[in-house]
Homo-oligomer: A and B are copies of this chain.
Amino acid sequence: MTIDPHPWATELDSFWAEVWTRLSRGVRDRRAPARHPTFATVSPDGWPEARTVVLRGADPVNAMLEVHTDLRSAKVAALRVNPRAALHVWDAAAQLQTRVEAQVTLLTGADVAEIWARVPDPSRQSYGTTPAPGQPIAASLDYDKTPDQATFAVLRCQVEAVDAVHLGPRHRRARFERQNGFSGQWLSP
């Protein structure tokens, strides 16, 4: 008899707990798949956009995720118009696809001074590129890194729903919604 390597996928409660175990691991462990979710937004002119981000916080109790970015990035421009994001993680070891829907609050300035104070120097290099990220430049290296808290932004992501799929000998898919206390509902995969 074969031992199921992912017994958590058979019950809604343990499925939900596993989603958060994996997200939390992404915050602590650089090598965990959830370290680098794909973060999708809707641009001001209605295009879907997706890019890799670094997951900086995961709070299972309040269902919150946190991402840091440059205030002048395209994703901030998108979120100012439509403050909704999708976060996507494929975890190959768990054979688990996690899809998060979140309402995003943009925090800057004094509201993030304490967080900025804890950002290590190498990471600070990501905030304060000149010219701003996405601006045209004549040659590939015509830019400077000048860390600057004024361009540091925190994206506080309130999880509204999670659609999780486990690919096993038979696939299992469940949806968890905040409005139902994340109690979970099986879906056809």
Known: A141-B172, A187-B135, A188-B133. A41 touches B51 (CB 8 A): no
Shortest CB-to-CB span from A78 to chain B, Å, is 9
Please give the distance in Å from A133's CB to the nearest CB on chain B. 6
Asked if A49 is an interface residue, CB under 8 A from chain B, the answer is yes
Q: Are A140 and B186 in contact (CB under 8 A)?
A: yes
Query: Is the pair A46, B42 in contact by a Cβ cutoff of 8 Å?
Result: yes
Query: Is A185 in the interface zone, CB < 8 Å from B?
Result: yes
Q: Are A86 and B52 in contact (CB under 8 A)?
A: no
State how many copies of this chain the complex holds.
2
Interface string of A19-38 (1 = CB under 8 A from B): 00000000000000000101
The answer for the CA separation of A82 and B46 in the assembled complex, in Å, is 8
For the complex of A and B, 7 pairs with smallest distance between CB atoms: A50-B88, A40-B48, A40-B40, A40-B50, A48-B86, A38-B38, A143-B188
- Could you list 20 A-B pairs, sorted by A, with CB under 8 Å? A9-B140, A36-B90, A38-B90, A40-B40, A40-B48, A40-B49, A47-B86, A50-B86, A52-B90, A52-B97, A129-B189, A130-B188, A132-B188, A133-B189, A134-B187, A136-B185, A136-B188, A137-B187, A137-B188, A143-B188
Question: Which A residues lie at the B interface, using CB under 8 A?
Answer: 9-10, 36, 38, 40-42, 46-52, 82, 84-88, 90, 97, 99, 101, 129-143, 170, 172-174, 185-189
